[in-house]
Amino acid sequence: MPIFRLEKLDGDDMSKAELVIAQETDLELERYLEDWLENSPLALAQESILWIGRQTSAKDEDGTIYSDLIGIDSNGNLVIAELKKGRTPRDIIAQLLDYAAWADGLSESQIREIAENYFETRGVFQGKTFDDAFKVVFEIPETDELPPLNRGLRLFIVAEEIPSRVARVCRFLRASHDMDISCIDVSTFETESGEVLVSTETVVGDEGFASPKVQQQHVSPPTRWSGDKPFDQVILETVEALMQGDKEFFTLKEVRRLISEKYTDFTPSRVDYQVYSDCVNFPTRSDYPKGTDRYWRISRGKFRLCDPENGKVKSDGKVN
């Protein structure tokens, strides 16, 4: 899928601008991609992920295997990302499933140990416990408990070009075996000014999961998000429902819970991403696509609605 840049031909007259295709770079993508994803976890699935390991070793009867990146999402699910790195389609899938089988058996204490060993190699969380890092990344109030860990696995294959054979097998695993597995294409482009643009496209992963046939015979189909409302609007309506009465704040956990109860295929962990984008004073809002000014962060994990007209942000960071 090409990336276009906008070229103005007549000053600020946007009606006369043209879309010009940005040229793909000859940058050695696979050489740097693992570093980029480690430094920018948002790029993997457009949501917050806490990395807890890179090239973490796992032993089985055939020897030792290494995962490129392993992390955890806001719901406590383990996230495993494998990069193609020139391997054959058969090897990519086999190694990912090998590692997933190992990770599926990890206890909470083992996950904490893996994470804290990794943190010692990364400055941002060096010396921090797993619980402290989790609460910071996922905006969890100090007094709240963490969700149960390793309730599920989310698997990602990332490549400059996903082989058709890999995509076909992954669609089969999603549709027939309810495996949360996604394939992501990554491309790099360069503008005339030398700016490098990185594009990601989900090749496999937007499809819903198949319900077991036995359930389909006896249970009414669950409610699914039809997409008729924008993602941010669904979240806003949920927040407005939560804030009725004299409630002073809402938490991301509450929003995720209500949405997941209503829509079976609405990814709860993407709630965080959208709220951060729409939060006037979120500390790292610049890391997210700027949304609509809708929410105000009271403290870690606690938010309220923010009226953009009556709640202007003053120079001291406070709202009128």
Convert the pLDDT of each residue in 80-110 to its tens digit: 999 887 778 888 898 899 899 999 999 999 9
The answer, yes or no, to whether residue 192 has pLDDT greater than 90, is no
pLDDT for res 320: 46
pTM of the predicted protein model:
0.79
Q: Which CATH class is domain 29-204?
A: alpha beta
pLDDT, tens digit (0-9, with 9 covering 90-100), for 232-258: 999 999 999 999 888 899 999 899 889
CA-to-CA distance for 111 and 221, rounded, in angstroms?
Answer: 36
Q: Give yes or no for residue 161 having a pLDDT over 80.
A: yes
Percent of the chain with pLDDT over 90: 39
Could you tell me the residue ranges of all domains in the chain?
29-204, 220-305
Q: Across residues 158-165, what is the average pLDDT?
A: 89
Residue 207: predicted pLDDT: 60
**What residue spans of 126-221 are helical by DSSP H?**
130-137, 164-177, 213-218
C-alpha separations of 307 from 8, 56, 243, 251, 294 in Å: 35, 46, 13, 18, 7
* 119 or 4, which is more confident: 119
**pLDDT for 163-172, tens place per residue?**
999 999 999 9
pLDDT given for residue 174 in this prediction: 92
Contact 23, 188 (CB under 8 A): no
Going by DSSP bridges, is the β-strand pair 63-72/50-60 parallel, antiparallel, or unpaired? antiparallel
